[in-house]
Structure 1
Amino acid sequence: MKIKANNIDIEIEDTHPGDAMGRPVVLLIMGLGMQLIAWPPAMVQALVDAGFRVVRFDNRDIGLSQHFDHLGTRNLLWEGFKFRIGLRIKPPYSLQDMARDALGVLDALQIGQAHAVGVSMGGMVAQRLALLAPARVLSLSSIMSSSGARGLPEAQPALTRALLSRPAGKGRQAAIEHSVKLFKAIGSPRFPMDDAMLRERVTAATERSFHPQGILRQMVATVADGARAAALAGITVPTLVVHGKADPLVPFACGEDTARRIPGARLAGIEGMGHDLPPGVVERLLALLIPHFQAASASQRK
């Protein structure tokens, strides 16, 4: 379903539309280049079964939400070099803009407050949302994400080169094969995803929308958000930071740094978790998230 949020078109899915006074809301914010369907159905259903209304959306420039091709694309290598030597990066839009999109989703659906959950880049957007509108955020859950601080460990060079590489051929099938290879490279060693499930997820996403230009613009927005690290001290909502101890893309130290910077944040490390959401990881996330939501809601009622 399309809505207008922050003056742009955003595609959403809402498990309980119009439930203004009933279930507490969980707002799920997906990561770089990922669409709302990347949230595993079993995870969404488990949250619904636990009594929550679950709202998902495609971030701007991805999936069925509004694209920003008129803004052009940037040279990622050059932008990354500027970041390393301390030069200012001017992104086509910012993570703050994306946080305003998330707030706009709540406004459009007339949702007063929600538990904000973000993975990877989505965790950064959720952090920005908690800073932007703390009265609207019941709790924050930052998963496999980072503070964006300088000097934190980065992905290994070989993995970075793989992520920046292009498909071996043209067309959707080449894109699917390329994506499958990348997801295997960043996957959870202790919870390997079934090949058929992985291919099914990648194929569904590619057929729904294939928009690599949007991914490049989101990358630049992520790299440019270096001031967020210092701002995290201003987060006042109950915060859970979850990170895989085997994450090859965003190393565990990034989660540790995020939790250290947010007052009162709880850090939960998961052994053998990489940078994906296979069933075994989802099971462990739910065991952390649901009590976190319940405790935050109970604390607010006091």
Structure 2
Amino acid sequence: MSALPMVVPEPGLPERVTIYEVGPRDGLQNEKAVVPTEVKAEFVRRLLAAGLPIVEATSFVHPRWVPQLADAADLMTGLTADLGDAARQLPVLVPNQRGLDRAVELGLRHVAVFASATETFASKNLNRTLDSQFEMFAPTIAAAREAGMDVRGYLSMCFGDPWEGAVPVDQVVAAGRRLLDLGVGQLSLGDTIGVATAGHVRALVRAFADAGVPPDRLALHFHDTYGQALTNVHAGLQSGVTTYDASAGGLGGCPYAKSATGNLATEDLVWFLTGLGIEHGVDLGAVVATSTWMAGELGRPSPSAVVRALATGDD
């Protein structure tokens, strides 16, 4: 049995949090060695068995852009054959109408689009201007909504940009509002290069609230580049945000940040929430075992502090 922290609740924090697991998509997308489709499928199955309520499975992106996810259709077809309707509930990223069409063909019900809060990253990642990216997303979001699908919006570079530096809060709010106005149900604010600090997090969530976007429409996506991810989660909790993106084992990272340590590890987040007495429904031992197994598949240890502390080598 895995050790668990002593539970000491903190007044004023949410009673329950939703962990939005992004390991199979965001965690694996930058891996140089191709991960076999069956290993990805097993990763998803194990994460679901560990109690994670949402597991983002893959992205229907062109193979030239992200070769690691070229097997998206095969992965989702196999998961559907194995898990049935549960697989159709797994979110997938769709960069454009073609990606959405593939998701619709497979009967999937939850999709996400990925936008930028800055001009430079919109140009480098999407080959669009900050303004024209929304013109690209509009028909895709509308078509998804018409198909009865739930649409999530990722907004990257919300706290800092490697080319532009600090990103004004009002610029992030304006970009986020445009995605919400197009019809996304939830907006995930990404600290893409891991430079956010607690006061910045509180200021951004407060600015969205002042613009008519309550915390329950937001999710927070932190990277631990400077060791601030859990501190930033705490600031988010104090601000009323109850959905947090995380990646099992801390897989993934930002190719634009030197020494980036990757996404906030699911295990680190679970340990932190458990200690605060916040409900999350996730079996910590099962996630640690899953990340230990995946680390073996990838041939390197997990960067998660909690995995390192608790892993026994069993899978």
Q: TM-score interval w.r.t. the shorter chain? A: 0.3 to 0.5
